[in-house]
Amino acid sequence: MSLLHTPTAAESRNAFRESLMLEGAEAIHHAASVRKQAHIKFWSVEPIQLVADLNADLVKALILMENNKLQSLRDNASLELFADVKNSDGSQRFPNRAPTEIGHPDITFDGEAFVYTAPPEPEIEEEEELP
């Protein structure tokens, strides 16, 4: 009786195909991770300056944003197919997802330009004087 299992030809082909799919998922995960980090850096600029930069070449900005959104949606959908793939420690192997939306809550596109709406100043409550 042999303790080692010799894979059949079909099992070997399946293992080979699975390894190729995982290589593809690694590449997609890397792209999503890079896009996520770039997104964080891009949107971390001072909002007023960012709006000025976006509006300086509005067509290019809109094309790039739409392209990034579509690529992110595609990559995220692909990574969802591998959501149950785990590392040896049980953690998810492909946890990162690429952002799909504008990365600053106070910046919007009004149909003609990007607009920054500053958040309201917090109200300072005056303390009542005690008698």
pLDDT at residue 130, rounded to an integer: 62
- pTM of full prediction above 0.85: no
- In the block, residue with structure tokens 């999503």: 32
* CB 35, CB 42: distance < 8 Å: no
CA distance 131 to 128: 9
| Distance spanning both ends of the chain, measured CA to CA | 94
Say whether pLDDT at 61 is over 80: yes
Say whether pLDDT at 128 is over 70: no
In the chain, the amino acid numbered 118 is A
